[in-house]
Chains A and B, each alone.
Chain A
């Protein structure tokens, strides 16, 4: 019964979405407030049915209802409960349902929090949001129905891919989807603005929190996936420029550009056309990501079941959504009024340069991801584009960006004195040189580029800190004054400082692990010791352990430095009962300066075991730095002035938008 209820719920959600996609739009044309208001109600109904459908599928997974094809293919009764639940989105159909659910939740959230939005804008945003929903609900119902019944249900299921039975990956897809789908709100706002022919500071102020929400979750999702790859795949790497990684990274790069350009619209009422385009492109890249992962277009380590029919369907949806919105852009954007002017050396100028570099970086990733396909299509043969390409193209684009982050943050609006700003950064510059020299000393030489890279990261960090110190007049005013100023700094300023600082820390970690990673592989017999980079790994032996749905061999290593005990590592090698698939569970001892990482491999048949040891310097900084960026996003969202639809002072908002219009 529960499956039929779920089936019914997604059909009802589709109907609600159809209503939401049409009535408010007509209402906005005719200025009929009843029709316009129906959008909010429909959004709520659509969300409730999406929640119901998702709940039904989850219930089927919890009770292991193998009469459902989806459950039988992707679950197993002996699976731990956590993975029964997360298995709901560990497959194409279920994850598509989650996608649709998140889309509906965002739609309902706009309806609920957008009380202060102008009625026509709100109606149009909700209608656009629902159009996306109609497309994907149709896709779900007609090509990827998770509620398909089996005539002869099996006694047990095929189980979830063991690699996915892991806490890191369990929550990676929902976060990633909240990110992807969250950008739909910015997209809907952009389309609505094109229809209305009006973009102003108020518009940017409404769009920013939604973009920030999406960005925060997308950052978290990408990091979670990367962290998972690091500890689960057992090769000590955290990023491989795989197409599936790239498609999540592209919306992130574009979304980051959007966050920054929206500030210019909000504060200076400029870069409006560009910001609209960014909003469209960011969500388009999210859609393309969804498409690439599910169409079998490119080969990747992590892709969904390949089904050309679904691929064509999504491609068709994408053509309507992206093609339609860009057509509207081509027709309506030229009529948007140009905004305030500014000199190239100014805060706006800095943000524009940031946008140029981020867009170039995004285009580079796009080119690298899809070039093999284009070349193949014109008969140019098959090529592979891997990490070396990105090291040579993406990294050079990022260097000026990172270099200029703290300079840009120091620049005042409209027109700035570059020398003056650089003068304020002289302490940061001096400290950077010292930091690079220290890094050079500690690393005992090492690749010059990596040393310079660490210098770059410390420049970015110190410059960011000095900008923050400037704001609170640290050491230039009594500490109590500074403290008071720090407390009074708006959340968005804290957010900026923390995000830039977090990025600097993460970059330092990325450079250090890439440049100074040490790796050793050997066959050890119990009692033998392998020495890697000054650390002794004594192999104590192995024992067999039985998990809920797997059998494993667990090795024990005792780590010591100069005879002093450090830690005990117990890596496992698991064999899952149902899918007969081996997985590695690396054991990691994390410290501030880096990770000690051990993997156990095969027995050699003569009492020895293959072991792999990695020394990953500063890798923890990547997770900490990225975590800081997520935290920064949340802090910024808590900013009262950004809180959705609730400006502190209504009069002020009206004034801002009026002045903005006057100055445009």
Chain B
């Protein structure tokens, strides 16, 4: 579902008034923001793709048209020019807006489960499958088919082959 229907009526009005900070038609990185140093600019783009715009719904500052996003893009570039590392820039923003602005949640006590989750689920499933195989092996040594069953099987197999079955 990728339908975009915003809150209607009063809700929309309120939101618009509260958050629409001088909306212009501008969007994403503007030419006047771009740094002269291509290496720094590339780092800035990389960082701003991983920073969430606090006023938008779910957009990185890199592609957001909100004024605040633009301001944050400039802050990112200022910090880089001042010699910050990528991580320092992200920390700078997280110190002010919280981990919420980081699309890559930092690994800490509250996110251990998140980062370990996929691995744990895989392990859990893997262990389940292991027991499934062990159980099915112990459960029964293949019982030889009765002659009746063998007949049916043969019939089936010839039937199958004649139709080029598989998949």
Contacts and interface: CB of A to CB of B under 8 A. Distances in A.
Interface of A: 73-74, 90-92, 95, 158, 161, 163-164, 169, 172-173, 176, 225, 228-229, 234-235, 237, 240, 242-245, 247-248, 263, 289-290, 293, 299-306, 338, 341-342, 344, 352-353, 356-357, 359-360, 363-364, 367-368, 371, 375, 380-389, 392-394, 396-397, 471, 485, 488-490, 492-493, 495-496, 519, 521-523, 573, 575, 582, 584, 601-602, 604, 610, 612, 641, 652, 655-656, 658-659, 662-663
B19 to A, nearest CB: 12
Contact of B7 (A90, A248, A305): A305
Nearest to B122: A360
Contacts of A522: 31
B149 interface: yes
Contact of A489 (B8, B118, B149, B164): B164
Interface string B41-73: 000010001101000111110010000000000
B29 interface: yes
Interface in B152-166: 152-153, 155-156, 159, 163-166
11 contacts: A158-B8, A228-B2, A244-B2, A341-B142, A352-B129, A384-B101, A492-B167, A521-B31, A641-B163, A655-B156, A659-B156
A522 B2 CA distance: 30
A301 B59 contact: yes
Contacts of A392: 104
Closest 4 CB pairs of A and B: A386-B103, A388-B104, A380-B110, A364-B118
Contact of B58 (A73, A263, A299): A299
Nearest to B103: A386
A608 B78 CA distance: 26
Nearest to A371: B114
A515 to B, nearest CB: 13
B121 A386 contact: no
Contacts of B96: none
Nearest to A368: B114
A294 to B, nearest CB: 9
A383 B1 contact: no
A659 B2 contact: no
B98 to A, nearest CB: 6
Nearest to B105: A383
Interface size class of B (residues with CB under 8 A): 35 or more
Given A302-B2, A490-B167, A610-B31, A662 B105 contact: no
Interface in B128-149: 129, 132-133, 136-137, 139-140, 142, 149
A300 B129 contact: no
B26 interface: yes
B163 A602 contact: no
Nearest to A222: B2
B22 interface: no
Main secondary structure of the interface of A (DSSP, over half): helix
Given A352-B129, A386-B50, A655 B155 contact: yes
Given A248-B1, A393-B118, A522-B31, A338 B139 contact: yes
B87 interface: no
Nearest to A270: B136
A248 B3 CA distance: 12
B126 A356 contact: yes
B7 to A, nearest CB: 6
A385 B167 contact: no
B146 to A, nearest CB: 8
B70 to A, nearest CB: 13
Nearest to B109: A380
B153 A659 contact: yes
Nearest to B24: A602
Contacts of A602: 24-26
A612 B100 CA distance: 29
B57 A299 contact: yes
B58 A91 contact: no
Nearest to A299: B57
Contacts of B86: none
Contacts, number: 211
B53 to A, nearest CB: 10
B104 A658 contact: no
Nearest to B65: A582
A92 B167 contact: no
Contacts of B142: 341
A95 B103 CA distance: 31
- Residue from the set B3, B7, B113 with the largest chain A CB neighbour count within 10 Å: B3
Contact of B3 (A90, A235, A382, A495): A90
Interface string B19-43: 0000011111111001000000000
Contacts of A360: 118, 121-122, 125
Given A352-B132, A389-B103, 11 more contacts: A164-B4, A301-B58, A302-B1, A338-B136, A368-B114, A392-B104, A492-B167, A601-B25, A602-B24, A610-B26, A655-B152
Contacts of A363: 117-118, 121
Contacts of A158: 8
Given A356-B125, A601-B26, A293 B52 contact: no
Given A341-B140, A356-B122, A381-B110, A496 B1 contact: no
B111 A490 contact: no
A538 to B, nearest CB: 18
A301 B60 CA distance: 11
B5 A659 contact: no
Contacts of B156: 655-656, 659
A367 B117 contact: yes
A302 B125 contact: no
A381 B54 CA distance: 15
A300 B118 contact: no
B3 A612 contact: no
Contacts of A485: 164
Interface string B83-100: 000000000000000111
Given A382-B100, A659-B149, A95 B3 contact: yes
A652 B102 CA distance: 59
B2 A387 contact: no
A343 to B, nearest CB: 8
A363 B120 CA distance: 10
B110 A302 contact: no
Given A364-B117, A364-B121, A659-B153, A244 B1 contact: yes
B30 A381 contact: no
Contacts of A384: 52, 58, 99-103, 105
B140 to A, nearest CB: 7
Nearest to B101: A384
B114 A496 contact: no
Contacts of B29: 521
Contacts of B45: 519
A658 B149 CA distance: 10
B103 A381 contact: no
A85 B79 CA distance: 51
A169 B125 contact: no
A663 B164 CA distance: 23
Contacts of B118: 360, 363-364, 367, 393-394, 396-397
B27 A388 contact: no
A388 B103 contact: yes
